Structure formats: structure tokens, C-alpha cells
Structure 1
């Protein structure tokens, strides 16, 4: 039979109707056995009962509460014929209540697949009826065909399920999400349609510091929680990794959508047991509303993604609803892409410098060079507005060379004037620069040109740069170390590096990602991760720097953990060269951290 899940019931009813007529019975039914939940489920019946009671006692029957005949059907593989009232009397009573017939004869023929009962084909006749062996053999053959059909339909259902669901969580996948949104945004449907784009904050850190399966276990627990707290008609999809999309079946306005996003944050933020630990993660949520018949699926998802980027821009754990202001922001990105190339060569780029200090004394130990773009119409743009565009348009190498050369030129000028004698200049290096064949030679030429010793320069690379091309990275870093150049891993703890990388590469220091440092004093999870990073750095003999220090509590916590070097807005914001000079003359930045006496002392040079 050319039957699938959508046509299974009407096709089965047609067959049952033919069997009712052929065998001269009053009623026939087909049931499937759900062994996982130990119940038997009505698939089709003929003739249909005109007004089944509510609830229908025959629709779903739990084996634990079933009558004796239905209990026997859970594992029966041979036909059962019931012709007298004293045989299975409780079953006779079930049929009497469901059909109104006082005395019946029943033929109960199991569906069998691979020696296991998978359902039953049942026939009921009022009064007396003898079932011959030949008739029962015919019915066994028909039941076998139904069992084959059932197995095929279940296999097809399973394939459809796999094609439309995430294998880790059982949630819908991207394909199912797009199909659902196409239906919801079709003309004539109610709107607006609220879409929530979720991105968990620093999930990979759970894997790195709590074990390989910790992230997966967290995702599974979170997915179950989301299912429990949304309506069955709502769409919850996992796009992979730590990204989810939720589309509500009901219509809500922007204000209600933002409130719903806050509720989602609260749900995600509840703690989850992962092994022996109880952990939580923040989540950033981007919200977009679509209008059926006017907004396409791609438009809604793109807007939700833009809103998510806005929500994450503040360091994570934010909520943002897509607005016209965001549309202007992404128009800025287009502007940047068009004009960035000329900006690198026409003098529009400038460098600001952010001091790094010893928290115990306030002594300036390093300056990090940070690029800015003096845009002709949009003012001073931070690197977040254009660096990603530079990387995507093959300008990262040219921009990076300008930054290194300009930073070293300024640093050499300070050195000549006696302003940075015991200070290290820190310069960020892009992935494109690090894997270029002539990078080491370029650095050597610049150091020779400006008369700078290599030990006064620290090049910072992010964790994901390390793993992109480990062989080339190792060769490049070894070449730099031969010149005495220091190497630091920036944004450490965000989930890319491993112990083997730290062991294999000639690294001098790690800089703890600002996302962990900012909430020290408020988050036990971040405290545990920072403590682990400091311990890890110590075991490898590496220096450690805390980034993003914005509160005295964070600074005091770092000192208490043995991390004395730090930078952040609490200490000083990035400044133009002329403003930094005043602090270099002083040699230190006054800090009032109220450190215990054991934490004070003379910083090592």
C-alpha cells in the first residue's frame, strides 16, 4: 500500500471496512502497541463510533490499568478468540461500555514484527460466531501486512524526525525552523510574529574547565527547561553550538516581546547541575518582529541576529529589540566596508593607548596600542566598528602593519625622551599577519628601524588565532622569540586553546578575558574560572594579566588570587598619545583599592 503517516488512518479504515463486510462482523479496529510507555493506542476503527465518550476509554489504554485481554495483548503473538462472557469478563465490560452491546464474540489477532507484538487487529460481532482456523490464518497474514506497514511508516517518521530535529537536544533544527516561519509569516496569518535569537555566553568555558561533556549536558538540561516553559505550539530550535531561536505561536507587541526576552534570560540563568558542579550561564537575546505577508523569514532572522549582536556588544547577557537605530548601525557597517581601504592609507587611523598597572602599587608596566578610525562624518570609531570588516575584506594585514609601525614609532619617541624606560608596548596581531610568511622579518625590520629591543615589545594573539594554523603559528612565534619579543594570549578562557597549545607554544603570558573579570565579586562561576586560569598560568610559569577591571571588588579579587597586573576602565581608559605622556611622567596611576597590607609591596621590575 502506498501509505504514509498522513494517509495511514483513512487507508486502514478502508481495509477494516472491507474486512467487516467479508467476515460478517459488526466492528473492527487496529491498535498499535507503544512499548516505551506501555500502552495500546487506537489507530483506526470501522465503523466509526458516532459519538465516542469523552474521554474515550478506547483511545489510549495503559497496560497497567487495562482489562485482562488488553494486558494479554502487550506480548501476545498468537490470535485470541473470546466467545463467552466468563472469558475475560472485564474486557467484555469494556466493550459493552464502548459499544453498547451486551454479548460479543471477539477475534484478537496480534501484529508481530521480528517476533515482537507491535499491535493488534480486532474484530467484534454481536451474539455467536465461530472463527475457523482458516479464517484466523488469513487474519494473521493480514495482520502481518499491517505490521510491515506500521514498521515502514515508523521508519519514515523517524527519518523525517531526524531530518528536522537536533540530535543532541531533540529540539527543532534550522530546516524545521525555516518551514515553521514560512507558515507563520504567510499572508493572512495573525501577527506580529515574535522571534527570539539566543546566544549563550561563554559556554565553551564549561568544556575547557569542567570537562568535555559539561557543555553538552548543560545544553540538554537547558533545552528540556525551555520545552517545559513554552507552549507546545511555540517553535524552539537549536541552530547548533550555543545558538537557539524561539518563535511564539501567539502574537505580541514589542513591549511584551522585550518582557518575554527578559523571562527567557531568567529561565536560562537558573543553575544547572553538571557532574559535581552547579553552574549557570548568561544569555544574550535579540528580538525581532515580523508581519505576515510583509516580512520574509530571512528579514526576520537577519533582524533578530542584528539585535543579538547589539545585545552582546555590552559584554553579553543583554536583551535588544531590533529598531530603526540598529538598522542605521548596520548601514554604518556598509559605509565602513566601502571607505575603510582609503582610511588605512590617508592618515585617518589613530592609536590610543591603555595603561596596564601593578594593582599593588599603581606602577605602569605596559601600554596596549589600540587602533581608532577618525571617520570624516561619523567621528571617532572604535575597532569593533571596522576590524571585523578589515578581516573580511583582506585589509587586516595592511591595517596591522600600520598599527605595529605606528606603535613602535611612538614608543621609540617616548623612550628617547625617557618616558617609558621600564614599560612594555603591547600590540595586537591579526590572524592574517601571524601566518604570513614574512611576518618575522617585518617585525625585525621595524625593531631595527626604531632601535627598540625585542623584550620591550609584546605581541598579543587571541586564542582562536592559535588553533587556526598551529604549525605556522609555532614557527612564527619561535622566530619572534629569537629576537626577544614577548608573546601573550589575549582573551584567554573564551574556549579555543588547550593545555597542549600552551605547552607547545613559546608564550610568556595570558590575559584573562574581560568577560570573566568584569563580574568578579558577583559570579561564583567566573571566580572559579579565573582562579583556574591563574593556577594554570602559574603551573606553566606564565605571567597573567586581568583585562576589564571596572570595579574595586574585581581588582581586590585579582590581587587576592595572585594576579597583580591588570588593565580596565577602573584604572584608565584608552587615551591619545599626548594624554598618556602625563601618566608616563608620573610612572604610576593612583589607585584606592583598600588592599590588605599583605597585598601591598614593591612590584617586580
Structure 2
């Protein structure tokens, strides 16, 4: 065994063992050359042969090998081990192990346990210190060699070169965490850093995590799609690379600020350990200034702007999901407010948006659950005060928010498309109720006026829907009026006009709601299948009684405008309804202009169908 000769020679070298030496021959007597004739001599010969085989294996091994003494000094290493370090074999003896292998924990602690004899073997993947600075990684196996008494004697190190595999793994890991175009950290790495920033930092004391703050600037380039469309995607890609380089150079801070590309033309600057709102708003302003400087890309001088959503808050009480959601919402506010600006998250605005989102998602199920009701406001003849009709106004009896007026959910229903199902329900409910009024008061026919959303014309067969509802409820077509806004008629001709014409041909009345607030083409009006105009309430302001400080000239001008519109409508064979009547003086002055009908709180607030029935009952007496 090599350990015996190493031990024998150690006493002559101050206690440090040498490498096992090869044997001196086949075991002949050194004095006379006679063959060995004792058992001891035969064992010595076998030992020398074993050492010779060990020497050959040690020197010719295809992996790195080294022997280390109890003082952590190299006794010797084989040629492969020397090559891994960029050294010659002769340089290795006497070098400390930490001069050739990085001593990181926890492998260093396990190695000390092995040297003390507390373990016999350990394995680790370590970085070797190459003389030329080249990166070399080895899978290291360290085995303890004990002496005859079982005590630690020296260690044997075997090293397999895994540099290529390690570098391949590093490349794959890098590619998994970085954007291939810009080389910035990607969405995955961004979320890893974000999650890490929210983990407890281990400080003692109450509220320690509550002292930490975090900030995020969510950046989106304005008009980037136009670059791709006009100059080509190759120019767009080069612009993204230039933007990324400018952001990384100006705003990346190791351990403090991460600049990442989230996808497309969206970037993020994550600030861990934020100092407060002012730091983030200054950062957003600096981002805008840096990005607004022209870019020279592929022979083009390009100027871009950015919209930025800014969120800054304590780590305590928030989550990564909250932070990203609010940053995304705030970015949307920046774009809707005009682009080329930064916007700081506002909790009240965020709560309102969240409520809008919840309402939007609940609209369709609410129709199926029957949570909507219809109230009616009478349309009164200005000449005689008789009820000529009633406008149907939908309300949402929300289980959490109570009774919601139309302006809280109708825009959401139009955006989401739920207005089609809701509008059809309102139409049928209103026609059914109008038929009940007709049956109860046959001598006082009352039309019902129902609002028709533009998407009901575009996203459904509204003509078929109306025909089915009239047939199912038994309401005469002449007692149904459909109100549509001017904006719905301003688009290109075609389907809307065809649908309105078909409805008019059925005998249904068509009214233009909020007339005068759009871009009315009066000549065009004469060719529309329209029966009535409803003047917007803003025009009716002019018919209030004069108040101190009122602008008499403007009031007189508005009165003349209303009078002219009434005369024009009558000339075209249309009736006119005034909305928003609040006082008797308004009603009287509108009557004098020739206005036909009116509605407003002066006559009645919107209410249940029994309120209309009560008015009809009183007039029948």
C-alpha cells in the first residue's frame, strides 16, 4: 500500500508525507542477486509492484488527480490536473489547495470535516484557478487516506473537467432569463427579482419589513407600431435594441435597479429599496427625458416618446401581483390621459377602475340572474299636459352596490358587448309593460321610448329582435319608439341606415337622442328615417328664469337656436322633445317655441310602471 512508504519517509521531511514511490524491481537480493526467500521480502516486492501500478495509473489517468497532505499542501498532481490549472507538473508540489481550487462554503466546511477524519469522501462542483484566468470548472471527488492506525494521513483529489457542460448550462440559463434581442433581463427574471424583493429580509423587531419600500416604472413606447408599419420590423428591432441600451446604461444599478424588457415595446425599471414617491417620479421624468433624445437607427433619425406608469409603496401590505397590476393600470391612465407622460398610481382612481372591472365581468351573469329593473319617466305634451309616452330607463339592483343608474354600467356594457343581451331584455320588458298600459287604458295609448345602443345595430339582428318582441308582447309597432344617438349615425353608411329604415317600415318610431351635441348634418337629417328629435338638456338651460350674473346674451342666443331647431324639425315633419325640464318657466317658454313634448323632474322623476298608470288613471276620471 502506498501509505506505508509515505509514512516511512515522512519522518525525514518534517512530518509531511511524499507521494508513493515506485518499486526497485522484482524483489532480488540487493547484495547477491538471489531470489527472495522470506515472507517479508515477498510482501515488500508485492508492495513495490502495487506502488508501480499506482504510479502508472496516477500519471496516465484521463482525469485530474492530486495528493494533498494534512497541511492542505499539494504533494504532487498528475499532468491532467496541471493542465487544468495552466501549469507544469513540477510547479504543483508545495502549493496550497486554495491556490488552485476556490474555497467557497459549504464545501470548505465539509472538506475540513474530511481532513479531521469525520467523513471519508466528499463531492462538489468547484471552480479551479487557472493561471491565465480562463474559466475552468471541475467535478471534484476528495477521498481520505488513513494510516495503519486509521488516522487521517493524506487526501486524494480527483477532478473531472466539466467546463463545457457548465458553460452550456450557464448559456441556457442566461437565455432563459434574458431577452434574445436586447439582452436585457426578460419577464421571467423580472418576476424572480420582484418575488425576491417581497420576501422577508430577516431583520429583527416589529415592523421591520414594513420599513422596506419598492417602486416600479412601467414604460411603453408611444407609436412604436407605426415604426414597424412604415419602416419595417428590422428597423423596429434596431430601435428596441437602441432603447434598451440607453435604458440599461442610464438606469441599471446592480442590486438596486433592474431594467427589463417585458415584451414588445414594454420595459420596466424595478427599484428595490425605494426611498419614496419622489425618487420614483424623478426616475420617471429622467426616463422620459432620456428616451425623447433622437435615435439614429439604420440611417433614420427617429424620435420616440413614452407613457409611464409609476407605482411606489411599502413592501408590507402589498404583493408582487398588486404592484404589477397597479403599474399596468397606471400605464393605461397615462395613455388615456394623452400619452408622452408619466402618471403616479392613485388609490382612489385604482379603486374606481377595480369596481368598473368587477361590474363589467358581472354584467352578463346579472342579466341572467334578473338583477335589472326598468323605471319610466313620462313624456308630457306641452300643449295640454297629457302623457304621450314614457322613456324606459334601466337600473341595476346590484347585490353589493345597491341601485345603480345607467351611467354606472351602460358604458361598460357597450365596451364589453353585454349591451346586446341587456338591450334586448330592456326592449322586451318595456314593450310588455307598454302593452299592459294599453290594456288598462285603451283610450290613452302611451308609447314607450327605448334607447338603442350602436352595438345593438352592429352586433345583432336588431330588426329581427324588434319584430320578435313586438309579436311576443302584442304591442303595436306605432307605440314603440327607439332612441339612437347622433354619433351612431355619423359612421359610414350601410347597415345602421338599412336597419333603421327597416324598423321605420315596420311602423316603429325612430328618435335621435341628445340632438345638437354631435356634429349634426341638417341636410342629412332630411334623408334619415327619423320621426322625432330629443334636444339635449344643455340647450334647455337657456330657458331658466334669469339669475343674477347670468349671461343674457348667451341665453338669448340659445333660445334662438332651440327655436330654429324646432322650426326645422317641424318643417321636416318631425316632433321635438325637450329633456331636463326642472321648472314651470322652462316648460312655458319651450311651449311658446312650439316644442311638442318634454320630460324632466318638473313632471316626474323616473319610477316604477305603477307611477305612469297612476297618471293615466287620474286623467281618465
Query: What TM-score, normalized by structure 2, do the two folds share?
Result: 0.43
- Structure whose CA Rg is larger: 2
Q: TM-score under structure 1 normalisation?
A: 0.44
